[in-house]
Amino acid sequence: MSPLISRGFGGRRRRDVDPSRVPPGQYVVDDFPVLSAGPTPSVSLDQWTFSITGAVDETASLPGDSSKARPGRRTRPP
């Protein structure tokens, strides 16, 4: 069983970067950065729901496991 909360990603400090130019708790990467304000909870898709509510004409709700039934598409950043 996986833990409820992931402690995040462990980065490596680079020697070619001035540490005073990097915010505390962050590190420089060459690819797309993943930003997180804290631990990421681990939630099973069968317990998760995506809902659109508020200033919309019609609310919508999808169970988390419905995303597996939809066709996927891989894209690459430009």
Share of residues in the chain with pLDDT > 90 (%): 13
Instruction: Give dist(CA 27, CA 12) in Å, integer.
Output: 7
Residues 40-62: b if buried by 16+ CB within 10 A, e if exposed: eeeeeeeeeeeeeeeeeeeeeee
pLDDT value, residue 22: 83
pLDDT value, residue 59: 93
Instruction: Give dist(CA 34, CA 23) in Å, integer.
Output: 14
Yes or no: say if 67 and 45 are a contact pair by the CB < 8 Å rule: yes
Q: What is the mean pLDDT of residues 5-25?
A: 72
